[in-house]
């Protein structure tokens, strides 16, 4: 059953702690993305990766870090430097990266992070 | 940068009614995507459009890629309660550009 999985579904963190959100895909997609969603706002791009061992900052990368050591995995770390980390985080993937020009993205189920 | 406009922010319809929503931009897009998001879940791709003028259906849903390439429309016919959710449009300006998302329209269906 192909798709994108994110874990955990709900995550609670104390202020000052780093936390890592998992994203795995078995669609054999080259590109993967992390978005942040806040109530009443559209999706905002945090980081994206078009190929293994390469990634670029999106529009709101400050306070976040990523790695892309395997094609199927793109974990996101929310660091203590992120001032307002409570949000719904969505991972997505697409067959081709930005150079493909069509970039149909498929989303995971999301992780809701709450900072206590 | 490019922006996609979706309005109104919320729509309320009666079960059985048809509803139409659009997405507009001041710049040209090569791809239009429509997603639906249920509360607490990730967006699910409904329809993808790749060619100006293209009209594509998926069950009770029909979407069109505007001729000017600056807009797209989504129609839902004979609405049912499970149609409630947030409908996002997204557009791809072309090669080496990021996908742009609208802010979404929250649809409510009264039984």
CB-based contact B30 A90, cutoff 8 Å: no
Return the number of other C-beta atoms located less than 10 Å from residue B29's C-beta: 27
For range B83-87, the mean pLDDT: 97
CB-based contact A43 B94, cutoff 8 Å: no
What are the DSSP calls for chain B, one per residue? ---EE---SEEEEETT--EEEEEEESS--SEEEEEEE-TTS--EEEEEE-STT-EEEETTEEEEE-TTSSEEEEEE-S--GGG-EEEEEEEE-STT---EE---EEEEEE-
**Tokens (6 digits) for B26:** 């001041």
For range B92-110, the mean pLDDT: 88
- pLDDT beyond 90 at B97: no
CB-based contact B48 A104, cutoff 8 Å: yes
Helix, coil or strand: residue A71: coil
pLDDT for B3:
79
Average pLDDT, chain B: 93
pLDDT for A101:
59
**Nearest C-alpha neighbor of B3 from the set B99, B111, B77:** B99
Q: Among A73-87, B33-47, B83-97, whose mean pLDDT is lowest?
A: B83-97
- pLDDT beyond 60 at B51: yes
pLDDT for B101:
92
Nearest residue, CB atoms, B99 vs list A4, A105, A112 = A105
How sure is the predictor about A90, in pLDDT bands with cuts at 50, 70 and 90? Answer: very high
For range A75-97, the mean pLDDT: 92
Q: Which chain A residues have a beta carbon less than 8 Å from that of B101?
A: 42-43
| Chain A residues contacting B via beta carbons under 8 Å | 4, 6, 40-43, 45, 48, 58, 88, 90, 98-110, 112
- pLDDT beyond 80 at B5: yes
CB-based contact B95 A99, cutoff 8 Å: yes
pLDDT for B55:
97
- Hey, CA dihedral for B44, B50, B51, B57, is it positive or negative? negative
**Nearest C-alpha neighbor of A1 from the set A24, A26, A19, A34:** A26
Helix, coil or strand: residue A91: strand
How sure is the predictor about B7, in pLDDT bands with cuts at 50, 70 and 90? Answer: confident
What number of CA atoms fall less than 13 Å from residue A109's CA on the CB side? Answer: 7
């Amino acid at each position: 059953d192909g798709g994108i999985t994110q874990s955990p579904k709900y995550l609670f963190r104390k202020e000052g702690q780093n936390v890592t959100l998992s994203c795995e895909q078995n669609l054999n997609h080259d590109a993967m993305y992390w978005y942040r969603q806040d109530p009443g706002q559209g999706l905002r791009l945090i980081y994206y990766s078009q190929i293994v061992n390469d990634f670029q900052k999106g529009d709101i990368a400050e306070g976040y870090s990523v790695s892309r050591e395997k094609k199927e995995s793109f974990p996101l770390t929310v660091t203590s430097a992120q001032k307002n980390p409570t949000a719904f985080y969505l991972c997505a993937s697409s067959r081709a990266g930005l150079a493909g020009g069509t970039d149909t993205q498929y989303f995971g189920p999301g992780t809701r992070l709450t900072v206590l | 940068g490019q922006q996609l406009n979706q309005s109104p922010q919320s729509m309320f319809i009666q079960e059985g009614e048809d509803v139409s929503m659009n997405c507009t931009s001041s710049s040209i897009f090569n791809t239009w995507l429509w997603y639906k998001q249920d509360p607490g879940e990730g967006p699910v791709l409904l329809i993808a459009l790749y060619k100006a003028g293209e009209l594509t259906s998926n069950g009770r849903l029909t979407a069109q890629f505007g001729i000017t390439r600056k807009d797209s429309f989504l129609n839902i016919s004979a609405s049912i309660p499970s149609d409630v959710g947030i409908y996002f449009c997204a557009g791809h300006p072309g090669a080496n550009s990021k996908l742009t998302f609208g802010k979404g329209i929250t649809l409510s269906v009264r039984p």
